[in-house]
Amino acid sequence: MNFDIQSITWDDERRKSRAKLIAEEISKSIQIKKQYTALEFGCGTGLISFCLNDKFEMITLVDTSKGMIDVLNSKIESFEIDNMKAYQIDINENHTLSGDSYDVIYTSMALHHIIDTEATIKNLYKLLKSDGYLCIIDLDEEDGSFHKEEKDFNGHNGFNQNDLKNVLLKAGFKGVESTTFYEDEKVVEEIKVKYSLFLMTGRK
């Protein structure tokens, strides 16, 4: 998938509506304090963080796509948001983020694009403060229909929640819980494909 190209038309009404629901679900699942700092991993154009920025002192947003970050930075500037900072960073490579920095890390629909799930979860763990929260929103396990049109997709066909829970526990997270909270459908090659999203939370 070329997210640099997709960034131009990313903010459609469907994604905006879904981002609002996801932000609400994150807010319900953890206790957010105004002085908290947050990291959005795989932020895209920041749709979720724009729904949460009034709840945090500062939000750092990272994505590997330059196109997504360029669009996001233009939005931050246009809306004059002073508590959101965006960077093109891969946390699984050398990066400038410091460890033990964030009270909350959230990521939506990004993890299934990353082959090495365990390494990513371990790196997110390192970036959290003690007792910090990780919130993962992603696809429930499916048969591959969701990305059928994307011939270069080589990620995961969603996740089995129990399997992902074990990855978090192995990385050191405690109190890991998950629930499916969202169901929808998308048209793939003129066929309606149903899918669902889960929210998984854990603490360092």
Report which of residues 198 and 185 the model is more confident about. 198
| Whole-angstrom distance, CA of residue 99 vs CA of residue 190 | 45
**Mean pLDDT for the stretch of residues 59-77:** 94
Give the list of residues 6+ apart from residue 9 with CB closer than 8 angstroms, or none. Answer: none
- E strands within the chain? 37-41, 58-63, 84-88, 102-108, 128-139, 174-188, 191-203
What was the pLDDT predicted at 35? Answer: 97
Residue 98: which CATH number?
A: 3.40.50.150
**What range defines the domain where residue 157 resides?**
3-203
pTM of the model: 0.89
What is the C-alpha separation between 179 and 199, in angstroms, rounded? 6
pLDDT per residue over 114-126, tens digit each?
A: 999 999 999 999 9
**C-alpha–C-alpha distance, residues 4 and 198, integer Å:** 26
**Matching residue, tokens 């998938």:** 1
Among 58, 12, 10, 43, residue whose Cα is nearest residue 137: 43
Q: What is the mean pLDDT of the chain?
A: 89
- Structural domain count, the chain: 1
- Let me know the angle formed at the C-alpha of 52 by 46 and 58, rounded to the nearest 5 degrees: 85
Tens of pLDDT, residues 134-182: 999 999 988 766 665 666 666 678 899 999 999 999 999 999 999 999 9
